[in-house]
A = this chain, B = another copy of it.
Amino acid sequence: MTLPLNIGIAGLGTVGAGVFGLLAAEAPTLEQRSGRRLRVVAVSARSRDKDRGIDLSAVRWHDDPLALAADPAVEVVVELIGGAEGVARSLVEAALARGKPVVTANKALLAIHGTALAEAAESAGVALAFEAAVAGGIPIVKAIREGLAANAISRVFGILNGTSNYILTQMQEQGRDFAAVLAEAQSLGYAEADPGFDVDGIDAAHKLALLASLAFNARVNFPSVHVEGIRHVSARDIAFARELGYCIKLLAIARLTPLGLEQRVHPCMIDADSAIAHVSDVFNAVVVEGNLADRTMFSGRGAGAGPTASAVVADLADIASGRRAPAFGVPTASLKTLAASPMAAHVGPYYVRLMVSDRPGVIADITAVLRDERISIASLLQHGRAAAPGQSVPVVMITHETVEVAMLRALERIAGLDAVLEPARMIRIEQL
């Protein structure tokens, strides 16, 4: 006969209410799998009266989430408030300070304060669990931290933002531009009214910082993530990508380089035949490259009430079962401080599209700049003629491996050429 695990949930949005309902509806099964009953004893949210479709009559209500952390009946705190600062942060700190394990879906909080919170959890001897913070229903945190623990990981990358992937998929399938697809996604509820966190790459960067810490046993270093979003991806570039055998995805990539840890989120061209190129719509995927397991890929739904609740409850089952691992795979004192490999030192092939005047000598001028920067061209595409004098035509180039600083210098010089009529579009090619 074991005692139930008494849970306090802070935040009763769709995920919080989903977790609450699930723990009630599936209590017997979850008890079998966890070894203890998972019992919600207290909740906290903004409005007590809102109809969430769940029966709160048997649990204690706290207007103040900090009071939930202090509630002596609460053994584990589930933080589903969100935000890197403010109430969510105070709540998690208060719970850990009281020696209570915390389960959270809060990627922003952990991306910024993850190492400090892991230290607090370790001092208290309790778990800081965040499966729900990365890739929703895909158990990728556990996979990297435990399932692949024997591996030296060299690269981890993935599609970590469903909204961006949905938009890029629609752009690709319909040949439409970003703004039109975003507007439609917003009207369908697939994108927020303020889509910046998603389409500007910030959400993916938060998650990448956590994956990188897990994969490389390093201190979380979100400020070093190079972040670019998808606003500048155009239907024209997607069409060229297809013609060249590529597909454009917003990838989040962390890898070890001779200079340290490279972390970056940006649109990538990837081989259209690769497995991750087939991960479309709102789906997420993570690829882990380890020295023993080689390449493993994990895909599924990265957001939504069900997938997020799946991850939160899995974390609760771990806590109930007494299964614990250090938040980022090793004790915090062993977490490495890896130098940030600067983006200027990034090496890889590049896609560059220029809009130029349709007249003799233009290609010669452009390729002379590239030659000066020792950039080697793997292929060059020029289609058709200008519709009218003075109109521009696209010139597309794929380079061999190039260091980014040289590419940026070349693009700056190319921008100064008379015949180049629009800013160049550069998309990094990721070799899989």
Residues of chain A touching chain B, judged by Cβ–Cβ distance below 8 Å, are 22, 26, 29-30, 32-34, 131, 136-139, 142-143, 146-152, 217, 273, 275, 278-279, 290-301, 306-307, 309-314, 317-318, 321-325, 329-331, 334
**For A139, what are the chain B residues with a Cβ–Cβ distance below 8 Å?**
142-143, 146-148, 296
- Report if A294-B300 is in contact (Cβ < 8 Å); known contacts: A142-B142, A150-B314, A314-B148: yes
- Closest Cβ of chain B to A249, distance in Å, is 15
Interface-central residue, A275, A309, A324, by most chain B CB under 10 Å: A275
Interface-central residue, A148, A290, A321, by most chain B CB under 10 Å: A148
Contact B278 A306 (CB under 8 A): no
Give the number of times this chain occurs in the complex, counting copies.
Answer: 2
Q: Determine which of B149, B294, B307 lies in contact with A294 in the assembled complex, contact meaning CB atoms within 8 Å.
A: B307
What is the chain B residue whose CB lies nearest that of A23? B150
**For A22, what are the chain B residues with a Cβ–Cβ distance below 8 Å?**
150, 292
**Cα A146 to Cα B315 with chains together (Å):** 8
What is the chain B residue whose CB lies nearest that of A321? B325
- Closest Cβ of chain B to A229, distance in Å, is 26
Contact B297 A300 (CB under 8 A): yes
Interface-central residue, A26, A301, A310, by most chain B CB under 10 Å: A310
- Report if A150-B297 is in contact (Cβ < 8 Å); known contacts: A275-B279, A324-B321: no
- Closest Cβ of chain B to A385, distance in Å, is 37
Q: Determine which of B143, B309, B314, B330 lies in contact with A33 in the assembled complex, contact meaning CB atoms within 8 Å.
A: B330
Closest CB pairs A-B (n = 7) = A139-B147, A137-B293, A150-B313, A296-B300, A292-B310, A292-B306, A323-B323
- Report if A298-B297 is in contact (Cβ < 8 Å); known contacts: A33-B149, A323-B323, A323-B325: yes
Instruction: Kindly list 7 other residue pairs between chains A and B, CB separation below 8 angstroms, not including A33-B217, A278-B278.
Output: A29-B217, A30-B149, A137-B290, A139-B142, A142-B143, A150-B311, A294-B301
Can you give 16 contacting A-B residue pairs, CB < 8 Å?
A30-B149, A30-B150, A33-B329, A137-B290, A138-B293, A139-B296, A150-B309, A275-B279, A290-B310, A291-B306, A293-B301, A293-B310, A293-B311, A321-B324, A322-B324, A323-B324
Contact A300 B306 (CB under 8 A): no
What is the chain B residue whose CB lies nearest that of A309? B292
Contact B142 A314 (CB under 8 A): no
- Closest Cβ of chain B to A39, distance in Å, is 15
**For A33, what are the chain B residues with a Cβ–Cβ distance below 8 Å?**
149, 217, 329-330
**For A294, what are the chain B residues with a Cβ–Cβ distance below 8 Å?**
137, 300-301, 306-307
**Cα A348 to Cα B330 with chains together (Å):** 48
Interface-central residue, A32, A309, A312, by most chain B CB under 10 Å: A32
Q: Determine which of B142, B150, B296, B298 lies in contact with A296 in the assembled complex, contact meaning CB atoms within 8 Å.
A: B298
